Amino acid sequence: MSNSVDFDPFARFRSATRARIGLGRAGDAMPTQAVLEFQLAHARARDAVHGEVDFEKLATALAPVKTVLVHSLAKDRATYLTRPDLGRMPDSHDLPAPGKTYEIAFIIADGLSAAAVERHAASVYEATVRRLGGFSVAPVVLGKQARVAFGDEAAAAFGAQVAIVLIGERPGLSVPDSLGAYITFGPRKGRRDSERNCISNIHDDGLSYESAAEKISWLVKEALRLKLSGVDLKENAVDGISLPHGAKSLT
């Protein structure tokens, strides 16, 4: 009688992705370990959606950069999740009075993942600003209960030519802490999604901070040069997707 070892053809692929592949089975069901991992991932996704960003801590991390906390018209998380329209509109009482204008405005919005904002937003902001030397940058708007379009009016309040919204993306069962970046030229109320450029999957096992910053800065500079954004602006920056920690290339 030989001692056989089951060969797992998916083992080497798991090191390169968070996706659930080759889970196997126990009878006609998934193995217990796979079921428990799925339940844990689901719990983390729920926590990310319902969690609250500690904006005071984020402001400290961004210091000495000036920040302005602006609430949306969604006054709590439950309203935010059930009334997307209110999350797109900033509370006018929190916006600054017309004054100095800027070329670029950053808006860091909680979106649908508090974890993404708390873990990645400050680092992406810092890496991007380093690449935008020579441009005037407004105080950072911290958007509470905010969606992407929230950034249009917030940036317009600073007279900004370009809005960069860093926002927590909707969590999946593989990645609960993915950050997205949306670039809009000429931000104002009523802008369409087709008028924005999006860079997504910024997290430890996805797009690195430096690669994301390179793409964002390239798009911003081109948007200012061409005076447009969205589907008319094609992103030609070099790709820089990093493998998960400890993963080996499959090629």
- 7-61 pLDDT, tens digit per residue, is 778 777 877 777 777 787 788 888 888 888 888 888 888 877 888 999 999 999 9
Count how many domains the chain has.
1
Sheet containing 179-185, strands listed edge to edge, beginning at the edge strand earlier in sequence: 67-71, 140-144, 104-109, 162-168, 179-185, 196-202
Look up the domain containing 175 and give its range: 54-232
pLDDT bin (cut points 50, 70, 90) of residue 239 is low
pLDDT bin (cut points 50, 70, 90) of residue 245 is very low
The answer as to whether 35 is a domain residue is: no
When pLDDT is averaged across residues 90-111 and rounded to a whole number, the result is: 94
Which positions make up the binding site for adenosylcob(III)alamin? 148, 169, 198
The answer as to whether 246 is a domain residue is: no
In this prediction, residue 2 carries a pLDDT of 53
- In 3D space, the residue among 91, 121, 95 whose CA is nearest the CA of residue 108 turns out to be 121
The answer as to whether 6 is a domain residue is: no
Reported pTM = 0.83
pLDDT over threshold 90, residue 130: yes
The answer as to whether 162 is a domain residue is: yes
The answer as to whether 215 is a domain residue is: yes
Which positions make up the binding site? 148, 169, 198
Averaged confidence pLDDT in the chain: 89
Domain CATH for 184: 3.40.50.11240
The answer as to whether 207 is a domain residue is: yes
The answer as to whether 228 is a domain residue is: yes
